[in-house]
């Protein structure tokens, strides 16, 4: 079996994000969902950098495209904001996991956009769909 390296996972993740820069959290394929959910018990030091790299790429890509920032024009984002939004992104990913494995359903949320008034909308689906 071929072992995928962190670099290969990052390349594949960035490729999906480039193609889906405005995706909703429920759009994330299982393959990426399981790679992107941060596990604090992960002993691999590279893992922390991987999660932050994927999130930072997605967030900054979204910001530049959504705000129509011209090529070559710089945009600054405080590092503290990136770390704060990373936690919210992890919540959005966790909600996807719950949506797929439980009878709880959630309204789709923008994967890399974080409006100030964003709220989690949830309900039970007893039909199992």
Provide the sign of the torsion angle of the four alpha carbons 18, 24, 30, 36, taken in this order: positive
How many structural domains does the chain have?
Answer: 1
Q: Which helix (H) or strand (E) holds 86?
A: helix 79-101
| 4 pLDDT higher than 80 | no
In a domain, 49, yes or no: yes
Q: Kindly report, residue by residue over 19-38, the tens digit of the pLDDT.
A: 999 999 999 999 999 999 98
In a domain, 113, yes or no: yes
CA distances from 15 to 1, 9, 61, 98 (A): 23, 10, 11, 25
- In this prediction, residue 52 carries a pLDDT of 93
In a domain, 13, yes or no: yes
Angle between helices 45-66 and 79-101 (to 10 degrees): 100
- In this prediction, residue 48 carries a pLDDT of 72
Residue 102: name the closest of 113, 114, 94 by CA.
94
- Write out the residue range of the structural domain in which residue 100 sits: 6-124
How much of the chain, in percent, has pLDDT values that exceed 90? 81
How much of the chain, in percent, has pLDDT values that exceed 70? 89
In a domain, 37, yes or no: yes
Supply 41's token pair.
């018990």
In a domain, 45, yes or no: yes
CA 19 to chain centre: 14
In a domain, 73, yes or no: yes
Model confidence, pTM = 0.88
Q: Looking at the DSSP assignment, which residues form a beta bridge with residue 110?
A: 24
In a domain, 129, yes or no: no
In a domain, 1, yes or no: no
Higher pLDDT pick, 40 / 117:
117
Other beta carbons within 10 angstroms of residue 10's beta carbon come to: 17
Q: Which helix (H) or strand (E) holds 106?
A: strand 104-106
């Amino acid at each position: 079996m071929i072992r995928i390296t962190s670099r290969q996972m990052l390349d594949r993740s960035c490729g999906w994000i480039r193609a889906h820069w405005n995706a909703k959290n429920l759009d994330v394929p299982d393959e990426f969902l399981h790679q992107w959910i941060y596990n604090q018990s992960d002993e691999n030091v590279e893992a922390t950098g991987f999660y932050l790299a994927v999130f930072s790429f997605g967030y900054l890509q979204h910001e530049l495209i959504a705000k129509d920032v011209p090529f070559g024009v710089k945009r600054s984002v405080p590092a503290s904001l990136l770390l704060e939004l990373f936690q919210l992104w992890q919540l959005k990913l966790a909600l996807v996991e719950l949506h797929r494995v439980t009878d709880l359903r959630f309204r789709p949320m923008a994967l890399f956009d974080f409006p100030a008034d964003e709220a989690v909308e949830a309900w039970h689906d007893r039909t199992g769909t």
